[in-house]
Amino acid sequence: MSRAVTTNLLDFSLTVPPSVFHPKFYFTSKFLGEFIQTISLSGKKVLDVGCGSGILSLAAAAGGATVVSVDINPAAVAATKENARRNNLHGRIDVLQSDLLAELDRDVAPFDYIIANPPFYPGEPRSMTSELSDQGITTVT
């Protein structure tokens, strides 16, 4: 059985569990994170769709934004919460399990910025439930 790994990226310490795309394996995570770090986000509200490990949420929150992070994968939700805590940004990031925007209250919008780094996986698509259950993770329905 695979286990979570710990890594560093953009001066953040990250835990990346199985079934969550590892941000160091995809150049776009670093590229987008570095770009986010150049934007003045103080007092801004940011939505991170498909937050994964939370690397982009962390970059936005460290820049002064209040962040709402969403992901359909419960392991990604847990990882983003843990990574926000371990980087002392948990007060700036609210994490929700959601299929895109389905679980967002209308009261949460509008956002100043919406960010996303959709993963590309060159294989046959599988359902989230089957992939997670293969790894011993129970999903919430």
Task: Tell me, rounded to whole angstroms, the distance of Cα 104 from its chain centroid.
Answer: 15
pLDDT computed for residue 127 by the predictor: 56
- CA-nearest of 51, 39, 68 to 14 is 51
99-123 per-position pLDDT tens digit: 888 778 777 778 999 999 876 656 6
Per-residue pLDDT at 62 = 97
Strand, helix or coil for residue 74: helix
Domain ranges of the chain: 10-25+41-117
pLDDT, position 120 = 64
What is the CATH number assigned to the segment(s) 10-25+41-117? 3.40.50.150
pLDDT at site 75: 92
- Give pLDDT < 50 ranges for the chain: 1, 129-130, 132-141
Q: What is the pTM of this model?
A: 0.81
What span, in angstroms and rounded, lies between the C-alpha atoms of 21 and 121? Answer: 9
